Structure 1
Amino acid sequence: MVGDVERSPDTKERLIEGTRQLLWDRGYVGTSPTAILRRSGVGQGSMYHHFRGKPDLVLAAERRSAELMQAQIREVFSGEGTGLQRIVAYLLLERDVLRGCSVGRLAGDPEIVADDALREPVRETFGVLRRCLAEAIAEAQAAGELDPGLRPEHTAAALAAVVQGGYALARAEQSTEPFDRAIRGALDLLGVGARDADRAGGPSS
Structure 2
Amino acid sequence: MSTPERLIESTRELLWERGYVGTSPKAILERAGAGQGSMYHHFKGKPDLALAAIRRTAEELRATAAGVLDGPGTPYERIEAFLRRERDVLRGCPVGRLTMDPDVIASPELREPVDETLDWIRERLAGIVEEGKEQGQFGAELDGEEIAATVLATVQGGYVLARASGSPGAFDAGVRGLLSLLSPMPPTPPIRTARCCT
* Structures share fold, TM-score greater than 0.5: yes
1:100 counterpart = 2:102: no
1:28-47 map, 5 Å: 28-47=20-39
Equivalent of 2:178 in 186, 197, 200: 186
Describe the superposition over 1:119-147 as per-residue Cα deviations: whole angstroms up to 9, x where unpaired.
Answer: 00110000110011011111111111111
1:191 to partner: Cα distance = 2.0
1:3-42 map, 5 Å: 10-42=2-34
Query: 2: distance between equivalents of 1:170 and 1:77?
Result: 24
1:66 counterpart = 2:87: no
Query: 2: distance between equivalents of 1:174 and 1:164?
Result: 15
Query: 2: distance between equivalents of 1:46 and 1:33?
Result: 10
Find the counterpart in structure 2 of residue 111 from structure 1: 103
1:84 to partner: Cα distance = 1.2
Which stretches of structure 1, 4 residues or longer, exceed 2 Å deviation after superposition?
Answer: none
SS at match of 1:30: coil
Query: 1: distance between equivalents of 2:88 and 2:29?
Result: 25
For 2:143, give the aligned amino acid: R
In the comparison of the two structures, how many residue pairs are matched? 185
1:148 counterpart = 2:147: no
1:172 counterpart = 2:161: no
**Rg larger for:** 2
1:32 to partner: Cα distance = 0.3
Q: Give the conservation status (yes or no) of the 8 Å contact 2:138–2:184.
A: no
Describe the superposition over 1:76-130 as per-residue Cα deviations: whole angstroms up to 9, x where unpaired.
Answer: 1211111111111101001000001010000111110011111001100001100
What percent identity do the matched residue pairs reach? 56
Q: Give the conservation status (yes or no) of the 8 Å contact 2:162–2:171.
A: yes
For 1:73, give the aligned amino acid: A
Say if 1:36 and 1:57 are closer, same or farther in 2 by CA, change over 3 A. Answer: same
Q: 16-25 vs 136-145, which deviates more?
A: 136-145
Unaligned runs of 5+ in 1: 1-8, 194-205
Question: How large is the RMSD of aligned CA atoms in angstroms?
Answer: 1.2
Unaligned runs of 5+ in 2: 186-198
Find the counterpart in structure 1 of residue 194 from structure 2: none
For 2:66, give the aligned amino acid: R
1:192 to partner: Cα distance = 5.9
Query: 2: distance between equivalents of 1:175 and 1:82?
Result: 31
| Higher RCO (C-alpha under 8 Å, 6+ residues apart) | 1
